[in-house]
Chain A
Amino acid sequence: MLYESSPVAITIFASFVLAVVGLSFWLGRKGQSAKGYYAAHGEIHWFINGIAFAGDYLSAASFLGICGMIAFHGFDGFLYSIGFLAGWIVALFVIAEPIKSLGKFTFADALDAKYNSRGIKLSVAISTLVVSIFYLIPQMVGAGDLIVPLLGLPHAVGVILVGIAVTLIVVTAGMVSTTWVQFIKGSLLVFFCGVLTSMILARGLTVNTGSLEPQTRTVTPDGRVLVDGEPQTRDHDLRPVGTLAALPERYGDATTTGPLGPLEYLSVLEDSRIVTWSGKKSTDASGTHTVYTPTERAGTDLLKPGGYFKGLTTGKLADKLDFASLMLALFCGTASLPHILIRYYTVKDAAAARKSTVVGIAAIGAFYVLTLFLGLGAMTSGALDPTSTNMAAPLLAKSFNETLFAVISAIAFTTVLGTVSGLIMAGSGAVAHDLVENVLGIPMDDAGKVRCGKIAAVGLGIVAMALGILFRSFNVSFLVGWAFNIAASANLPALVMLLFWPRTTKEGIISAVTVGMLASLTWILLSADTFEKVYGLSRDASPVPFSQPGLVTIPLGFIVLIVVSLLTKAQPQGKPA
């Protein structure tokens, strides 16, 4: 669909971004020691840090991706919410305490605290970089997807805007500003989603079938876009979709329910009939055609698992394993994300770290409950763009009013700013602190470390922008799933065994991290989804049985660590634990 840029939207949007960047410059004046740059002086209050956790974690995938998935496919988007949040339990109950007392600036230090091994620093720094990059791609893609309808500018512009804003933030003030960016983002996100949810409930559900004619979008070989055979213009465009076909019988002839309570809303939806749309692509001489067709379904069918993960209803074993593998990867992945773990170091002590994680979990949990309603509200809003799941949440806001649309889009953009800041921090830490200082052994004074970190940040920013433009056609949640698989496979076995099995040796850790990362990465690059969407080959050519490697590669990491540790000599502890 084509969008008009609105001056209101642009003004609100620009004000937000400028405020955030301005804040970062102001905070940046507060001292530039390495400790300050990387670990925010250890002075962040636990409540601020907790909301910053939420701001850090709730990325484009959570906000845009899950809402969109629920809006188009029903319950299965909610499965992502459940998985993402459950991972925090692993983070809090298994990893939190020990990591705090082990670590210095980065995740690599935590893993290396006992062995002082260059091999560990190298393998973990690389794994941190790889995971950070995989997590960066969907954020940048999401940023581009937000800019297109908001400002009417090309996808690449959005990506570059994010890249520049974030690099500025990180280079000027490092961790302090990213904590505050994320605190602001976290609060705004939860607050405005709360506002939007109450508006959804107040509006209730309304019958609005709209036209059920299929729609076709064609991209001709010379790059023109046609809708139903005619050139796409603002007056001749794809129709918005996502409607309620019929209310439950108990409403009789009424076409609207009026305000509903949250549980009422859910139960009325389950008894209603809903029209969802899906697209099917085909290519011929005249171009690539995507035909969007409607399906009317019972609410009960949509509000149960199986709408997106079709294998749950077809009964195919490979599909069921795929789903279980994804849920395992989400569960294990949160604790393994480098940009999350860094945040543990920004509070005073273990008790404060616990408190901040609790605050974070509560905020994230509340947010995921809200996204359930946002997704369902979008599903029946009649305002969805059939070509884009990512736009469901902002378009939902637009169906209420233009200002709310602008605010939500600006918040979503700040969402990306916050997450990307954290990722670039983790990545620049890996490069500057781990690779340059520890592995290459180049000694640096405080100022040198900070400078190196900033150069690394700029480099990473450029890489992120390039990849965000290259991967623009990908589904953001899918890419995040990749990142979680790799993080969990590479990092979790090493982390857990280090904390709980004294017989772990440094060779064991190096092998586990390396094998876990390479195995999951290779699996993903050989998966059916990659074959189809990246290489343009047939899905059947893929040698692996399902797409998500976690079920195989996470246990593989554990096994490799155990075997290698048993085969190598146990070492006396180099430092007190």
Chain B
Amino acid sequence: MANNSEPGSDGPGGAARIGFGLFWIYVILYFGFIALVLFRPDILSSRPFGGVNLAIASGLGLIAAAILLSVVYMVACRVVESPGGERR
């Protein structure tokens, strides 16, 4: 279907708020990483985990965080919308 103008059951309020919050969490992570790259690259060269340096670990962490946050979002939205019923 292409033209969905049904109001309400989409729960834009709840979903949008969750989305907003999770978005800002990721903004902090992403731009925090960029700030480190720009201003404290020495920290990124350190190897606190003994094997892999913080630069690589952060990169992998950001990828994992993106996946994790999107799953959290999907689950949270489903919870918020369930009383209204899913359209099938």
A503 CB–B CB distance under 8 Å: no
Q: Is the CB of A357 within 8 A of B2?
A: no
A102 to chain B, nearest CB (A): 9
The answer to whether A264 and B51 touch across the interface, beta carbons within 8 angstroms, is yes
Expressed in whole angstroms, the Cα–Cα distance for A264 and B45 within the complex equals 17
Taking the closest CB of chain A, its distance from the CB of B87, in whole angstroms, is 6
Expressed in whole angstroms, the minimum distance between the Cβ of B41 and any Cβ of chain A is: 6
- Given A85-B66, A312-B38, also A42-B2 (CB < 8 A): yes
Whether B12 lies near A98 (C-beta < 8 A) is yes
CB atoms of B59 and A86 under 8 A apart? no
Which residue in chain A gives the minimum CB-CB distance to B6? A101
Within 8 Å of chain B (Cβ to Cβ): is A327? yes
A-side contacts of B22, CB under 8 Å? 89, 93
In whole angstroms, how far apart are the Cα atoms of A88 and B64 in the complex? 13
Tell me which residues across on chain B come within 8 A of A105, comparing CB atoms: 2
- A263 and B52 form a contact (CB under 8 A): yes
Contact A354 B77 (CB under 8 A): yes
Chain B residues with Cβ below 8 Å from A92 are 19, 70, 73
Interface size of A by CB at 8 A reads 57
Does the CB pair A104–B66 fall under 8 Å? no
With A82-B33, A100-B4, A365-B67 in contact, do A93 and B73 touch (Cβ < 8 Å)? yes
Is A75 positioned at the interface, with any CB of B under 8 Å from its CB?
yes
Bound-state CA distance A572–B8 (Å) is 22
Measured CB to CB, the closest approach of chain B to A353, in angstroms, equals 10
Task: Let me know if B30 and A86 touch, CB within 8 A.
Answer: yes
Contact A357 B70 (CB under 8 A): yes
A-facing residues in B26-69 (Cβ within 8 Å): 26, 30, 33-34, 37-38, 41, 44-45, 47, 50-53, 55-56, 59-60, 62-64, 66-67, 69
B53 x A355 contact (CB < 8 A): no
Are the C-beta atoms of A362 and B87 separated by less than 8 Å? no
A324, B34: Cβ atoms closer than 8 Å: yes
Contacts of A90 in B (CB 8 A): 23
Identify which of residues 72-102 in chain A touch chain B, using a CB-to-CB cut-off of 8 Å.
75, 78-79, 81-82, 85-86, 88-90, 92-94, 96-98, 100-101
Q: Are B19 and A303 in contact (CB under 8 A)?
A: no
* Cα-based distance from A330 to B4 in the complex (angstroms): 30
Task: State whether the Cβ of A358 lies closer than 8 Å to any Cβ in chain B.
Answer: yes
0 or 1 for each of B1-23: is its CB under 8 Å from A? (1 = yes):
11111010010100110011011
Q: Which residues of B contact A86 (CB under 8 A)?
A: 26, 30, 62, 66
Residue of A nearest to B4 (CB): A101
Determine whether A323 belongs to the interface, using a CB cutoff of 8 Å to chain B.
yes
Q: How far is the CA of A94 from the CA of B27 in the complex (A)?
A: 12
User: Which of B4, B52, B63 is A82 in contact with, Cβ under 8 Å?
Assistant: B63
Interface residues of B (CB under 8 A from A): 1-5, 7, 10, 12, 15-16, 19-20, 22-23, 26, 30, 33-34, 37-38, 41, 44-45, 47, 50-53, 55-56, 59-60, 62-64, 66-67, 69-71, 73-74, 77-78, 81, 86-87
Q: List 24 A-B contacts (CB under 8 A).
A: A78-B59, A79-B37, A81-B59, A89-B26, A89-B66, A89-B70, A93-B69, A94-B23, A96-B19, A97-B12, A101-B5, A263-B51, A303-B56, A320-B38, A323-B37, A324-B38, A350-B4, A354-B74, A354-B77, A358-B70, A358-B73, A361-B66, A365-B63, A365-B67
